[in-house]
Amino acid sequence: MQFFSQQTISELNKHYRTHLINSLSGFKSANLIGSQDQQGQTNLAIVSSVFHLGAHPPLVGMIMRPHSVPRHTFENILATQCYTINQVNSDIYQQAHQTSARYEKNESEFAATGLTVEYLNDFGAPFVAQSRLKYAVKLVEHQHLAVNNTELVIGEITDLYVAGAALQDDGFIDLTRIGTVAVSGLDSYHLTTQIARLPYAKK
Amino acid sequence: MQFFSQQTISELNKHYRTHLINSLSGFKSANLIGSQDQQGQTNLAIVSSVFHLGAHPPLVGMIMRPHSVPRHTFENILATQCYTINQVNSDIYQQAHQTSARYEKNESEFAATGLTVEYLNDFGAPFVAQSRLKYAVKLVEHQHLAVNNTELVIGEITDLYVAGAALQDDGFIDLTRIGTVAVSGLDSYHLTTQIARLPYAKK
């Protein structure tokens, strides 16, 4: 085993440390956040920090860094109180990654990357047509995390769209059937193979 | 595409809805949280909500449900202000899953599941010997999320231990080399294969 003490970590160069620390949490979800401002200017941002918060009510959380790239997304969410979450699959992971470039506010990442805007059921934020699992989210609350100047954004899942082949009889969605990717570190994209589903654990 | 409206989701039976909503965030990390109380009674709990919060300083977040199974872990963290995070690999995913059974406070999930307690460098919480990427974490803060009665727990990463073969020249850790698993839904475990690492995105 290789050992890094707190002291060693603090002395690493910035890029090495960014790669290292980003690898520690394990595999991350890959999602595109669709949003628009009140004039209808669309925005799309890849986020690897979307996490399940609860099923009753159906809630989803994510961490935003408003002082770095996805600031337009956060501003749009505050302005319109809604956004979409679109899972990234292996057919679009390169375009999804490209949304992290520093586009201006008046440039849509949809147009810049070749992903297609889709409006569904009059929801006030754009979906990604190429995504096979996507849902509409209404902002519930956001909390500033003073510890490192990030924002925890919590939303309620409303409309859900999923490619039918992935949906199992018990409600589980087989993400391997729709090519959903996982992220590790800052920039590594992965397909997965299922080892097993395990039964509810009992003593 | 199959469509579920907010109304439809609200009317699903509880188990179906739990599986469905747990599938929406995408692939999740699989980590074992090691902790102990002030008398040294150890506890181990699988958590799929560990997420990267920042690299400068090195911070990690997780969501705990203190009113369901991992309550002993949360109590221990409050009492000792520290814990360990141990990535789950494909050799131990079954034991890791088994830690989610409702063991009593005086039963250690280490003993119950056959995972091995390891103390490293005098840190005040137990590691999992079988894990190939693990780190010591000091509690920074916790925030109650009133929206669904969960706790956001934020910690600072101190000592880090990683199997040397996985560490790349730029600090990226290749999780495929140490068999780290990803979770989807409540109970599905996955190995991954890397598609690609992509360069920093520029306009």
List chain A residues with CB under 8 Å of B6.
Answer: 157-159
Q: What are phi and psi of B11, to 5 degrees?
A: -100, 0
Identify the CATH class of B25-188: mainly beta
Question: Distances in Å between the alpha carbon of A103 and those of A59, A70, A183, B85?
Answer: 29, 10, 22, 36
Interface contact flag, A188 B197, Cβ < 8 Å: yes
A152-180 average pLDDT score: 97
CA distance A134 to A163: 9
Distance of CA A11 to the CA centre of its chain: 30
The sign one gets for the Cα dihedral A177, A182, A188, A194 is negative
pLDDT tens, N- to C-terminus, chain B (203 residues): 999 999 999 999 999 999 999 999 999 999 999 999 999 999 999 999 999 999 999 999 999 987 766 689 999 999 999 999 999 999 999 999 999 999 998 999 999 999 999 999 999 999 999 999 999 999 999 999 999 999 999 999 999 999 999 999 999 999 999 999 999 999 999 999 999 999 999 99
pLDDT of A69 strictly over 70? no
* Min distance A71 CA to chain B CA atoms (Å): 16
Q: Is the bond preceding B66 in cis, omega lying within 30 degrees of 0? A: no
CA atoms within 13 A on the CB side of B134: 23
ipTM exceeds 0.85, yes or no: yes
Give the DSSP letter of residue B104: -
pLDDT of residue B57: 95
* Terminal-residue alpha carbon distance, chain B: 33
User: Which among B52, B85, B98 is the nearest to A22, CB-wise?
Assistant: B52
List chain A residues with CB under 8 Å of B191.
Answer: 192-193, 195
User: Which among A101, A150, A190 is the nearest to B192, CB-wise?
Assistant: A190
User: Which among B4, B98, B193 is the nearest to A160, CB-wise?
Assistant: B4
pLDDT of residue B66: 73
**pLDDT-derived band of residue A65, with 50, 70 and 90 as boundaries?**
confident
Nearest-5° Cα angle at A69, A16 to A30: 75
Interface contact flag, B26 A29, Cβ < 8 Å: yes
List chain B residues with CB under 8 Å of A135.
Answer: 24
List chain B residues with CB under 8 Å of A93.
Answer: 195-196, 198
- H or E element: which one contains B6? helix B6-11
The string of pLDDT tens digits covering residues A96-131 is 999 999 999 899 999 999 999 999 999 999 999 999
Tell me if A143 sits within 8 A of A152, measured CB to CB: yes
CA distance A160 to A178: 15
Interface contact flag, A53 B145, Cβ < 8 Å: yes
User: What residues contact A13, with CB distance under 8 A and at least 6 apart?
Assistant: none
* Min distance B103 CA to chain A CA atoms (Å): 7
- Full DSSP string of B9-38: HHHS-HHHHHHHHHHTT--EE-EEEEEE-T
Cβ-Cβ contacts under 8 Å between A and B: the total is: 343
A145-168 average pLDDT score: 96
CA distance B132 to B174: 12
pLDDT of residue A70: 61
Give the 3-state secondary structure of B173-203.
ECHHHHCECEEECCCEEEEEEEEEECCCCCC
Interface contact flag, A159 B4, Cβ < 8 Å: yes
**pLDDT-derived band of residue A66, with 50, 70 and 90 as boundaries?**
confident
pLDDT of residue B69: 60
The domain made up of A27-190 has a fold known as Pnp Oxidase; Chain A (2.30.110)
Interface contact flag, B52 A173, Cβ < 8 Å: no
CA distance A183 to A21: 14
pLDDT of residue B199: 96
User: Which among B2, B27, B193 is the nearest to A29, CB-wise?
Assistant: B27
